[in-house]
Amino acid sequence: MCGRFVATTSPYDLANYFGAVLTPAADEVRPSYNVAPTQPVLTISQEEEERRVVPRRWGLIPSWSKDLSVGSKMINARAETVAEKPSFRSAFRRRRCLIPADGFYEWTTEPAQAKRQPWFIHDSINRPLVFAGLWEHWKDAHGTGPDIETCTIITVDAGPKMAVLHHRQPVFLAEDSWEIWLDHTNDNTDELQALLVADSGVEVDYFRVSTAVNSARSQGSSLIDPIGEPGALF
């Protein structure tokens, strides 16, 4: 799964990296070493011929939902059911996005350690990780609140390297699949599902980090300082 991640790249650098333009509110999203559910994140989506950097709240709220609270439970969508599950199927057909990250955290339980041990997972050559995402537009049916755009990260059964940390992992999209994923006119379910795999060609490394990250309130670059040997599980 993916329950916390790091996103410190500026919106301007993301726009350059993805060949996208900034939407007006994109530069209001602050860099974070500990992004938690319901917080704003930067996403990349396509409108006609143009890619855009768009801020969205993490935790998808289906358009038919009556309130915001459901979003905190929908930070991830399972690749195996995303095309059929009512909460996600409409977004899967028409509202797909990329969610860039500098890396993300996963936790293990280690012998003689009271707190769960966090690990930082990142691209092996330090490029942004690009998660397969979906987005949705939610409007308050009572007309008392603002319209909100939200997003979710798609997960899949973990590949061999990630499986030592957790049985699920985010779907990492390689650059040659971005155009297919972002094309909102593409409703070829088989082609889209074929991208939702653990082995996308994106290589990751990981290392232990401080248990300070266990608190969603913690921030700062020290959260991703390595502890111990990279990739050594116990």
Do 184 and 46 form a contact (C-beta atoms < 8 A)?
A: yes
Do 174 and 129 form a contact (C-beta atoms < 8 A)?
A: no
If phi > 0 it is left, if psi is from -120 to 50 it is alpha, else beta; for residue 92 that is alpha
- Between CA 202 and CA 183 the distance in angstroms is 21
- Between CA 157 and CA 145 the distance in angstroms is 37
- In our burial notation (b when 16+ CB lie closer than 10 A, e otherwise), range 120-156 reads bbbbeeeebbbbbbbbbebeeeeeeeeeebbbbbbbb
Q: How confident is the model at residue 230 (pLDDT cuts 50, 70, 90)?
A: low
User: What residue ranges define each of the domains in the chain, with the CATH number in brackets?
Assistant: 5-224 (3.90.1680.10)
Give the pLDDT mean for 55-62: 95
Write the pLDDT tens digit of every residue in 71-110: 678 999 999 999 999 999 999 999 999 999 999 999 998 8
The Cβ-side half-sphere exposure at 179, using a 13 Å CA radius, reads 3
Percent of the chain past pLDDT 90, that is, above it, reads: 80
- Between CA 135 and CA 18 the distance in angstroms is 18
Q: What was the pLDDT predicted at 107?
A: 96
Q: What was the pLDDT predicted at 121?
A: 97
Write the pLDDT tens digit of every residue in 192-219: 999 999 999 999 999 999 999 999 999 9
Catalytic residue check, 106: yes
Do 234 and 117 form a contact (C-beta atoms < 8 A)?
A: no
Catalytic residue among 28, 48, 80, 106: 106
Q: What was the pLDDT predicted at 220?
A: 96
- Between CA 225 and CA 65 the distance in angstroms is 40
Give the pLDDT mean for 25-29: 93
pLDDT at 234 over 50: no
Q: What was the pLDDT predicted at 140?
A: 74
Kindly report the pTM of this predicted structure.
0.93
What single string gives the DSSP state of each residue in 197-208? -S-SS--EEEEE
Catalytic residue check, 151: no
Write the pLDDT tens digit of every residue in 108-134: 988 777 789 999 999 999 999 999 999
